[in-house]
């Protein structure tokens, strides 16, 4: 828990010194209510150039991952540890924030910030960073929100930041419920639908699959 907290504070400091506060409004440690639980966001930046969701990963060692994989791998002192693909995590966060603020998903940009002493051993997309998070965010220079839109977005974010009706325990309970759900995908938050195996030795058998396939390939036995 402390490692995660330290990583978030480290990212918060980096954003503080590299981005103009008058251009990029910052919000941290947010919990958003959804129709099937809650979603937690480490950092959100609101600017005329879009909204940036920054998810922090404080990990050391070698990092292996592919956008299409559900699990990525950390190798540290010859030990392998797997963790959820953070791109899938921010995909759900993007959907939730888009719905909450009533803005287009294309104006929301997820960013993964690895802040530990780590090295990527596979090629990563440009929004997965071990350095240069501020520079990547500043590379977006096309204005997508006018002044009135920004005011409405900032008003929504301020309401969210001061909300007191959701606690950390509520969020943890929501995560447990979603993990065990038969109707909600625990990885991205989309609906689970019944699918039928079309070939192979299990042909004709049914299973639960994520409605967001092929972006999310989560499955569960019925």
Instruction: Write out the residue range of the structural domain in which residue 194 sits.
Output: 182-221
- pLDDT digit string, tens, across residues 93-120: 999 999 999 999 999 999 999 988 899 9
Whether residues 106 and 166 fall in one domain:
yes
Whether residues 190 and 155 fall in one domain:
no
| Residue 139 CB-density burial (10 A; 0-12 exposed, 13-18 middle, 19+ buried) | exposed
Whether residues 195 and 146 fall in one domain:
no
Whether residues 158 and 206 fall in one domain:
no
- pLDDT digit string, tens, across residues 48-105: 999 999 998 989 999 999 999 989 999 998 899 999 999 998 998 999 999 999 999 9
Whether residues 166 and 193 fall in one domain:
no
**Size (the chain), residues:** 222
8 Å CB contact between 182 and 208: yes
Residue 177 resides in a domain:
no
> What are the φ/ψ torsions at residue 134 (nearest 5 degrees)?
-60, -40
Domain count, the chain: 2
pLDDT (0 to 100) of residue 40: 85
8 Å CB contact between 195 and 209: yes
Residue 8 has pLDDT above 60, yes or no: no
8 Å CB contact between 39 and 27: no
pLDDT (0 to 100) of residue 181: 66
**Residues 66, 181, 168, 106: is their CA dihedral positive or negative?**
positive
Whether residues 132 and 81 fall in one domain:
yes
Closest-CA residue to 113 (of 1, 17, 32, 15): 15
Whether residues 54 and 76 fall in one domain:
yes
pLDDT (0 to 100) of residue 80: 93
């Amino acid at each position: 828990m402390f490692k995660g907290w330290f990583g978030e504070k480290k990212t918060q400091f980096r954003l503080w010194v590299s981005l103009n506060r008058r251009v990029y409004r910052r919000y941290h440690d947010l919990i958003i209510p959804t129709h099937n639980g809650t979603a937690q966001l480490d950092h959100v930046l609101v600017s005329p150039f879009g909204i940036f969701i920054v998810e922090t990963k404080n990990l050391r060692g070698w990092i292996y991952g592919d956008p299409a994989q559900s699990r990525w791998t950390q190798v540290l002192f010859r030990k392998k540890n797997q963790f959820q693909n953070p791109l899938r995590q921010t995909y759900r966060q993007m959907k939730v924030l888009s719905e909450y603020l009533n803005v287009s998903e294309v104006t929301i940009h997820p960013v993964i910030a690895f802040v530990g002493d780590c090295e990527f051993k596979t090629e990563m997309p440009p929004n997965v960073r071990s350095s240069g998070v501020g520079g990547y965010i500043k590379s977006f220079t096309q204005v997508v929100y006018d002044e009135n839109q920004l005011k409405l977005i900032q008003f929504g974010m301020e309401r969210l930041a001061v909300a007191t009706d959701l606690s950390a325990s509520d969020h943890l309970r929501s995560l447990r419920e979603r993990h065990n759900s038969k109707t909600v995908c625990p990885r991205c938050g989309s609906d689970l639908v019944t699918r039928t195996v079309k070939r192979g030795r299990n042909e004709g058998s049914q299973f639960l699959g994520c409605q967001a396939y092929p972006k999310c390939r989560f499955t569960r036995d019925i």
